[in-house]
Amino acid sequence: MKIANRGLFSEEANQEAKEKVNDPLHVFDTQGRNKREIGYESTQAYFGMTLPPNKDSKDVTTDIKQDILSMDKSNFTMKYILKHLKLGDFEKIENQNEFNDIVVLEKGDYPGIKKETETTVGRLLVNQILFSPLSIEYPYQNNAFGDGALDYNLNYIGSKVLSKDLPMEEYKALLKRVEDFGLRMSSVVAPSLDIDMIDLDDEIKEMRDELIEENREAIENGDTDVISEIEDKLLDEVKQKYKDNPQMELYLSGGKPYLDNSYKKNSIMIGAIPADLNGNKFHISTNNLVDGIDKSDIHKVSGAMILGAYFRGIKTASGGYLAKQGIAMAQSIKAGKHGTDCGTNEYRTINVTENNKENYIDAYMVGSSGELTLLTYDNIDEYVGQEIDIRYPEGCVSEKICNKCMGERYYKLLDEYEDDIDVGLFISKILTELSTSGSTVLTQCKNFINLFRVSQNMWG
Ligand SMILES: [Zn+2]
């Protein structure tokens, strides 16, 4: 007899499950950021499509611009992009336009465009397909989507879901569009590695062999400083040598693989390998995976695999124990109702940078006369490069941490504005999710550290 999963649950349980799918914690992590990871292939495709014009880029006709501007998302088929716009490089379809050909947008062509602005066909397509269908007005994104730019856009738009300015369904549709369009375009725009780059350039090989010879003793002694210096030198050469090679997009797009890890181990050298359980002793292998591992180095490389298995197995138990302690510690922490303010004069001074600005979203900034301003994606850029004062949980003087010291994030993530917030329960939920998702020790530790940040030191 066949029993559908659905049949096992009551109607109420089904209803509850349906609602849970739109629960903010299902889509956002404890930092309020999108946790539906975008695939590396898509990430690379967006980077390739949004590259700046180069010396060969030409101006496209205003017809093409108007054509793209007048399309809605259902019309952007592959046939339209490849055949009609003549983009992409296929044997059967000769491309006449490049993604980084120049389009000039006039004032009013697009939200956020206030004056004549040079952009590219690829950027216009990406904006039209991803962001234009949103019911909120989203300003034109005129930059290359490398190094986390796509993630930042998604986190920004996600903050509109948490502030209830955008329905969750729309956000999930956006995430689906990002993945669908990115994956489809990946075969058209994302160059894969070929032998030119996989088989390291002869000059760099020569330089590598000289450096190894000069530092033979330090390498044999497992000196990690020396080997990382050598690796950095060689990686600089690689970056310089292949800078105009489209294959470098694979490494520059901000997805995986990484130049200083995957490429280095494959084509330059494996480098330092932990040789004991405490991370105090290292073996160094100057072999790489493309040329193969010498007999004399096999014990070093295989040792790393055993060590990996050890950490995944034995250390998971220790990680679990730490997590239990963390939960016990957090049980007693409660946050007061939405709108509470203990009125403390205690604040923390922080230096907002381009790299850390997202950490302070949803915290309250203290102004010179004590007035509070909520930090959001819309105003945080005004404070980059400045020192500001913020309220923070440990600075709270009430028994339950007040809303102003706690910030807004938990209230939004839990969609709880009427009652106290049980921080301990919230944290247990995150840790339970972790232990059931089979995550590695490393992720558990990372989240454990986050847990302390969340409960004790939320904004720093
Ligand atoms: Zn307080």
Six-digit token string for 141: 């994104």
> What is the pLDDT, as a whole number, of residue 61?
83
Give the range among 157-161, 228-232, 299-303, 373-377 with minimum mean pLDDT: 299-303
| 295 CB-near residues (< 8 Å, 6+ apart) | none
> What is the pLDDT, as a whole number, of residue 315?
67
Distance (Å) from CA 27 to ligand 1 centroid: 28
Determine the 3-state secondary structure of 29 from DSSP: coil
- How many angstroms separate the CA atoms of 394 and 391, rounded? 9
Distance (Å) from CA 356 to ligand 1 centroid: 23
Distance (Å) from CA 151 to ligand 1 centroid: 32
Distance (Å) from CA 374 to ligand 1 centroid: 14
Give the range among 219-228, 273-282, 289-298, 316-325 with minimum mean pLDDT: 316-325
**Number of residues in the chain:** 460
Q: Around Cβ 141, how many Cβ atoms within 10 Å?
A: 21
The more confident residue out of 227 and 96 is: 227
| 235 CB-near residues (< 8 Å, 6+ apart) | 259, 260, 264, 268
Quick one: which of 179, 129, 134 has its CA closest to 157?
A: 134
Distance (Å) from CA 336 to ligand 1 centroid: 9
> What is the pLDDT, as a whole number, of residue 94?
67
State the pLDDT confidence band at 140, using cuts at 50, 70 and 90: very high
Distance (Å) from CA 302 to ligand 1 centroid: 53
> What is the pLDDT, as a whole number, of residue 169?
93
Distance (Å) from CA 347 to ligand 1 centroid: 10
User: The whole model's pTM is what?
Assistant: 0.79
State the pLDDT confidence band at 122, using cuts at 50, 70 and 90: very high
> Could you report the per-residue pLDDT of 262-281, keeping only the tens digit for each?
899 999 999 998 888 777 88
Quick one: which of 212, 239, 235 has its CA closest to 223?
A: 212
Provide the 8-state DSSP code for 106.
Answer: P
Q: What is the residue whose two structure tokens read 């957090």? A: 330
Quick one: which of 257, 328, 335 has its CA closest to 289?
A: 257
As a whole-number percent, the residues of the chain with pLDDT over 90 amount to 45
Distance (Å) from CA 379 to ligand 1 centroid: 23
Distance (Å) from CA 340 to ligand 1 centroid: 8
pLDDT at 59 over 60: yes
- How many angstroms separate the CA atoms of 340 and 270, rounded? 55
Quick one: which of 107, 149, 106 has its CA closest to 130?
A: 149
Provide the 8-state DSSP code for 418.
Answer: S
Distance (Å) from CA 375 to ligand 1 centroid: 17
> What is the pLDDT, as a whole number, of residue 226?
95
Distance (Å) from CA 56 to ligand 1 centroid: 58
| Average pLDDT score over the chain | 84
Distance (Å) from CA 44 to ligand 1 centroid: 44
If you average pLDDT over residues 414-426, what whole number do you get?
A: 84
Distance (Å) from CA 26 to ligand 1 centroid: 28
State the pLDDT confidence band at 442, using cuts at 50, 70 and 90: very low
What radius of gyration, in Å, describes the C-alpha atoms of the chain? 26
Q: What is the residue whose two structure tokens read 């997202």? A: 358
Distance (Å) from CA 364 to ligand 1 centroid: 11
Max Cα–Cα distance, the chain, nearest Å: 73
pLDDT at 455 over 50: no
Please state which architecture CATH assigns to domain 21-189.
Orthogonal Bundle (1.10)
Quick one: which of 353, 394, 397, 347 has its CA closest to 372?
A: 347
Provide the 8-state DSSP code for 381.
Answer: G
Q: What is the rounded (10 degree) CA torsion for 161, 162, 165, 166?
A: 10
φ, ψ of residue 68 to 5 degrees: the values are -65, -40
> What is the pLDDT, as a whole number, of residue 1?
43
> Could you report the per-residue pLDDT of 210-240, keeping only the tens digit for each?
999 999 999 999 899 999 999 999 999 999 9
